[in-house]
Amino acid sequence: MKSHINIQVDLADDKMPESIQWTAPDGGVPEWQNAKAILLGLWDGQEKSALRIDLWTNKMMIDEMNDFFYQTFYGMADTYLRATKNEELTKELKDFAKSFLTKATKAVETDAV
């Protein structure tokens, strides 16, 4: 059995993503959904290295990027806990996520003044 997650990226003339859409029919998302950013991480077990695809559109605002990273860090902590059962490091990751959001939010507020 195979399951598909489809990602479609439309590029502007300067090769920057103009739009990002995704669908996961087997995961209950049969219709194309819009996204402003995507962070995709893959683990190459043979090479023992992480591969990444990080894309965002020019419509992604800095405050949205800050929230996106916060939620990604926090979600990674939950995934790490499920995979390792290491509650201490999970708490550290979540504390970092909260600290990151506080500092990132302050930086945006300072730049706006």
Q: What is the mean pLDDT of each run of 10 residues along the chain (113 residues)?
A: 95 95 96 98 97 96 97 98 98 98 91 63
Residues 79 and 93 in one domain: yes
Which residue, among 41, 34, 76, 73, has the nearest Cα to 56 in the 3D structure? 34
Residues 48 and 88 in one domain: no
Residues 90 and 107 in one domain: yes
Question: So what's the pLDDT on residue 112?
Answer: 64
Residues 22 and 69 in one domain: no
Residues 31 and 77 in one domain: no
Domain count of the fold of the chain: 2
Residues 6+ apart with CB under 8 A from 109: none
Which residue, among 110, 68, 77, has the nearest Cα to 96 in the 3D structure? 77
Q: In which domain, by residue range, is 42 found?
A: 1-58
Residues 28 and 70 in one domain: no
Residues 69 and 17 in one domain: no
Residue type (1 letter), 42: L
Exposed/middle/buried for residue 93 (C-beta within 10 Å: 0-12, 13-18, 19+): buried
Which residue, among 9, 4, 104, has the nearest Cα to 55 in the 3D structure? 9
Q: How far apart are CA 95 and CA 74, in angstroms?
A: 9
